[in-house]
Structure 1
Amino acid sequence: PLGLGMGSGGCGRWEEEKKEDGVKWMQLEHRGPYFVPLYEPLPEDVQFYYDGKPLKLSLATEEIATFYAKMLHHEYTTKEIFQNNFFHDWRKGMTSEEQEIIKDLDKCDFREIHKYFVEQNEARKALPKEEKQKLKEEADKIQEEYGYCILDGHREKIANFKTEPPGLFRGRGEHPKMGMLKKRIMPEDVTINCSRDSKIPEPPEGHKWKEVRFDNTVTWLASWTENINNSLKYIMLNPSSKLKGEKDWQKYEVARRLKDVVHEIRAQYRRDWKSKEIKKRQRAVALYFIDKLALRAGNEKEEGETADTVGCCSLRVEHIQLHPQLDGQEHVVEFDFLGKDSIRYYNKVSVEKPVFRNLQLFMKNKDPTDDLFDHLTTTFLNKHLQHLMDGLTAKVFRTYNASITLQEQLKALTNPEDNVAGKLLSYNRANRAVAILCNHQRSIPKTFAKSMQVLQEKIDTKKKQVEEAQEEVKKAEDEYEDTKDAKAEANVEKKKKLLKRLEEQLAKLNIQATDKEENKQIALGTSKLNYLDPRISVAWCKKFGIPIERIYNKTQREKFAWAIDMAGEDFEF
């Protein structure tokens, strides 16, 4: 139930009758997941070689070999841990005869198989238009059949209606399980969730479901456990669906509520820096980091199960260095650790003196691998946050600080006199401030240098055109000086108009180049989709006459339909 004020603007579909607590739907009907096609054996003339000799593999062994072959020129297959995990899992799938022969990955030659898949790929790209159209129609047919469900009388789109194909697990960063075999999902692994009175989906012929449930307190349609991390995977509704839209909207409403109490919370953790209990002090310093630096909370994890990544509560002594003075600033904390998805967080921050003093205390007589906040767990922290405000977690701070930063930056950076390109540059700069706050990085795209070069060539060409147009204007003006006739005067105007248009085009290209350069290592998308209240962007577009499609693409506009309906130009987060 959403007991929330609507902001400005009406919003029909988001406001239908409310259900009782915990109930997410009354009716749910769907076709179940679409299972990816079974393995097709390689042609006879494509061979695997062991120790220089061709070796015919059994079907199961061959399938796993193709997973590795497809990745032959990938960075992953150069990593020892990937190779070892793959070889271990591959041998498990072999026949006993194959296990006797294949004992050394270095003697395996996958090159012919790799070449075959590269050629298949090229052939697909080179298909004539009609063939491509036919394939698209087949995919659309599957989408029509499996990609929608009926939820409380609405036909809603499903996000991921296909099961994941088998393959080799990649993981992010130095994941200890990379290279392990992701098994094929069978109907026998799948739990179906739908309403009791609906047409229950039929499993593929000769198979049965693991279980059929009628649980209307959850929003997933099907689930299974994947074999690498033993985690549950779900088939969910598309972000554009009413259910997801409501959830998204609620998330930002919780963050907006934080705005009213954040001053009290800050005053409270400042008081706790001086607490007699070390536990409270640690909680207060951690909360300061979560608030000021938008750090993630950092849950406790099983060792050896995942990459060694940390968040605020799981920081170790080795992850920070204290500098009483650095680069002309006092009380500087230097952070260096791997955060979520093994993305490095590196930052030097000047903190308040009591925080610095407390950190010195927390680090005293500890080894580098000891926990910095040894008296603190995320559970203890989140309990405290829940006590401060209903629904408050560490993530809400990230959402709140991200959204408030965007709103403030847009106010500071947008010049109403700018043209659309100039305003969009300001928007991206505001978005970038948020991405930097949240540490959303990306590696420089492989195509960056090439596309930058192409853009630079365009700029050079345009500069030449501008110079030529300036010459033309001067010529026309001289001619008018000599003759003073109306035709020559009209010609001056015409040439000036052309010059103005070319100058505008050049300015636009220059803005593009600046934007591209500034964004090469920053991922703007993550914060835009997950941390920024879309109503801030919608209101900004409406206020400055920017078409919304310049900010959000079609998929994003569907996801944020609720915000586009709801926010007027005067919306304040």
Structure 2
Amino acid sequence: MDTKPDDGVYKWWAQSDDTIQSILNSDQKWQTLKHNGVLFPPDYQPHSIPVYYDGKPVKLDPEQEEVATMYASMLESDYIQKKQFNENFWAAWKELLGKNHTIKSLAKCDFSKIWEHLLTEKETKLNRTSEEKKAEKELKAKFEDAYKYALVDGRKEKVQQFKIEPPGLFRGRGTHPKMGMLKKRIQPEDITINIGRLEDVPPPPTGHKWGGVVSNNTVLWVAAFKDAINNKNKYVQFASGSSMKAMNDYLKYQTARSLKDCIEKIREDYKQQWTEKQESDRQLGVAIYFIDKLALRVGNEKDDEEEADTVGCCSLRVEHVSLVAPSSIKFDFLGKDSIRYENTVEVEKEVYKCVKGFIEGKKKSDMLFHKINPSKLNDHLKSYMEKLSAKVFRTYNASITLDRELKKLEREITSDMSVAEKVSIFNSANRQVAILCNHQRAAPKTFDTSVETMEKKIEDQETYLERLQQALKEPPKKPTQPLLPKTPESISSKIEAIKKKIDDLKQEKKMKIENKTVSLTTSRTNYCDPRITIAWCKRTDVPVAKLFSKTLQDKFPWALDCPNNYTF
């Protein structure tokens, strides 16, 4: 199959929202589908370096060695210190070693020789010449191009995650109970291929056959396989910038925009519910208030044996909230991706009174909202707007916050501001959204070092600026290092350039420190209507590439067409 992308752009967003919705609602997603299947990782290449057990070298067979190498590669990670990770790894590796193997205990194993080998390999890779790196990159791109696109109804659409993940140790987030378990190698026999005509089925790797072949035009995936860790199906789907995925994104933000037409009515109603006689009504009103004002996810019950103990609004337990007189509530729980949500907020007095009543007589492990669930809450919201769900509130509040903050801060922008200064203003607005949505991250391990590096750069530039300013007053009699411009005009020009560079570096350092544990990317790319950012870029003469990478621009082609006066 020819996999070069089309030059023409399919501007599906030029159609009405109703037409786009009807395309998405159609049971038949495509009429013809052709693709080249999936790309498998290379086979494992044994290195024959032993593990030392009780001080003595022990040779392993290739399968045992591969799993030992996975563990060795993580010796400097935090996972190695986690009991659950080690227990799960040992259970998987012990099974491969067999009952009669010399190795009987993980505690007596020394993987350092394998780790040293991996470091040497990494160093060799880093020391390649730029020509070697370029040649490898071009060869890799040429090889992967065959899998990057599918032909859908005669139109090229990009495929996402066409590369099958190599085997490894499951990491999970936070305290996931399955961390350390072995993710086995996915074989063609594990894969089901979805194709238009059976005669167009891509050939499997030599010596293998596909686990199954279907022609199902009601779905938008090209291949599927079972995730052995979580026992769930995983799908190779079309990329986020493909027409069907992008249509969903577009309508998600259109739905969130529509919420502004009924948000005040919803707020009036949930305030009324706080004083209702039925406890279920009061719980519903308070839960929607939390989702609206705190941007909490709706939440659902989890199986503790299968996943980390993460919760959302409807699955909050009594232990997750504390009353702080006279009218504040402290929240402390693990949210999605095991990110801790810790926040003390002042609430309406009626809400405080309601929560106090919900807690009375309950154990810490009891549900705070025991009379409602996500389905009941979402059904209630649909009475206001057909497509409304708790998830829409998060998108709405993130987008409306960014829109308002940018318009407020836009007054500070002057014509002589640098792009870096303008981006800093944007990040200040974006930061408010990230805080609202609890988009946190662990401080990078290299944070202190990178700040020190930036400070050194600023110091060097300031020293150079002083030399330039001195040279303008009194030109040096002998050449200096680094060489200075020769004429007063060129020195003056260089002074202005260095001043700008120093300002940009200081802005960059300021942003780095302010956002040490805040993730700005998540809200900007997943929750805020991208048209808000792009319109702001157009109004302020900031290149879109400063805020949206090429990948994100490909994801939001419909947003790039928005006018500069777009308002959410």
TM-score (norm 2): 0.90
Q: Aligned letter for 2:93?
A: W
Q: Aligned letter for 1:340?
A: K
**Contact preservation (8 Å) 1:440, 1:522:** yes
Aligned to 2:380: 384
Aligned to 1:106: 107
Report deviation, 1:494: 7.5
CA distance in 1, matches of 2:266, 2:466: 60
Aligned to 1:258: 259
Tell which deviates more after alignment, 281-290 or 465-474: 465-474
Does 2:414 correspond to 1:401? no
Does 2:36 correspond to 1:40? no
Aligned to 1:509: 505
**Contact preservation (8 Å) 1:27, 1:198:** no
**Contact preservation (8 Å) 1:14, 1:242:** no
**Contact preservation (8 Å) 2:299, 2:312:** yes
1:398-437 alignment to 2 at 5 Å? 398-414=394-410, 415-417=412-414, 418-437=417-436
CA distance in 1, matches of 2:553, 2:322: 44
Aligned to 2:165: 164
How many aligned positions are there? Answer: 540
Report deviation, 1:13: 4.3
Tell which deviates more after alignment, 149-158 or 354-363: 149-158
Aligned to 1:480: none
Q: Aligned letter for 2:557?
A: A
1:547 to 543, 559, 567: 543
Does 2:6 correspond to 1:12? no
- Larger relative CO (CA 8 A, sep 6+): 1 or 2? 1
1:75-474 alignment to 2 at 5 Å? 75-98=78-101, 101-196=102-197, 199-325=200-326, 331-414=327-410, 415-417=412-414, 418-467=417-466
Aligned to 1:534: 530
Question: Measured at CA, do residues 15 and 125 of structure 1 come closer, stay the same or move farther in structure 2, by a change above 3 Å?
Answer: same
Aligned to 1:68: 71
Question: Measured at CA, do residues 564 and 95 of structure 1 come closer, stay the same or move farther in structure 2, by a change above 3 Å?
Answer: same
Report deviation, 1:453: 1.5
CA distance in 2, matches of 1:501, 1:189: 59
Aligned to 2:553: 557
TM-score (norm 1): 0.89
Question: Measured at CA, do residues 474 and 108 of structure 1 come closer, stay the same or move farther in structure 2, by a change above 3 Å?
Answer: closer
**Contact preservation (8 Å) 2:50, 2:60:** no
**SS of residue matched to 1:441:** coil
What percentage of residue pairs aligned between the two structures are identical? 46
Ranges in structure 1 where 5+ consecutive residues have no aligned partner? 1-9, 326-330, 477-490
Once the two structures are superposed, residues 245-267 of structure 1 have per-residue CA deviations (whole angstroms, 9 ceiling, x without a partner) of 21211111111111111111111
Q: Aligned letter for 1:401?
A: N
**SS of residue matched to 1:221:** strand
Tell which deviates more after alignment, 12-21 or 250-259: 12-21
CA distance in 2, matches of 1:412, 1:211: 56
**Contact preservation (8 Å) 2:32, 2:196:** yes
**SS of residue matched to 2:330:** strand
Report deviation, 1:94: 2.5
CA distance in 1, matches of 2:212, 2:68: 32
Question: Measured at CA, do residues 459 and 121 of structure 1 come closer, stay the same or move farther in structure 2, by a change above 3 Å?
Answer: closer
Once the two structures are superposed, residues 524-548 of structure 1 have per-residue CA deviations (whole angstroms, 9 ceiling, x without a partner) of 1111110011100111111112111
Ranges in structure 2 where 5+ consecutive residues have no aligned partner? 1-8, 476-486
Once the two structures are superposed, residues 458-479 of structure 1 have per-residue CA deviations (whole angstroms, 9 ceiling, x without a partner) of 3233334555566667789xxx
2:58 to 49, 52, 55: 55
**SS of residue matched to 2:313:** coil
Question: Measured at CA, do residues 58 and 199 of structure 1 come closer, stay the same or move farther in structure 2, by a change above 3 Å?
Answer: same
Question: Measured at CA, do residues 63 and 500 of structure 1 come closer, stay the same or move farther in structure 2, by a change above 3 Å?
Answer: closer
Q: What RMSD, in angstroms, separates the aligned Cα atoms of the two structures?
A: 2.2
Once the two structures are superposed, residues 465-511 of structure 1 have per-residue CA deviations (whole angstroms, 9 ceiling, x without a partner) of 555566667789xxxxxxxxxxxxxx998876655444433332222
Tell which deviates more after alignment, 524-533 or 198-207: 198-207
Question: Measured at CA, do residues 505 and 347 of structure 1 come closer, stay the same or move farther in structure 2, by a change above 3 Å?
Answer: same
CA distance in 2, matches of 1:380, 1:160: 35
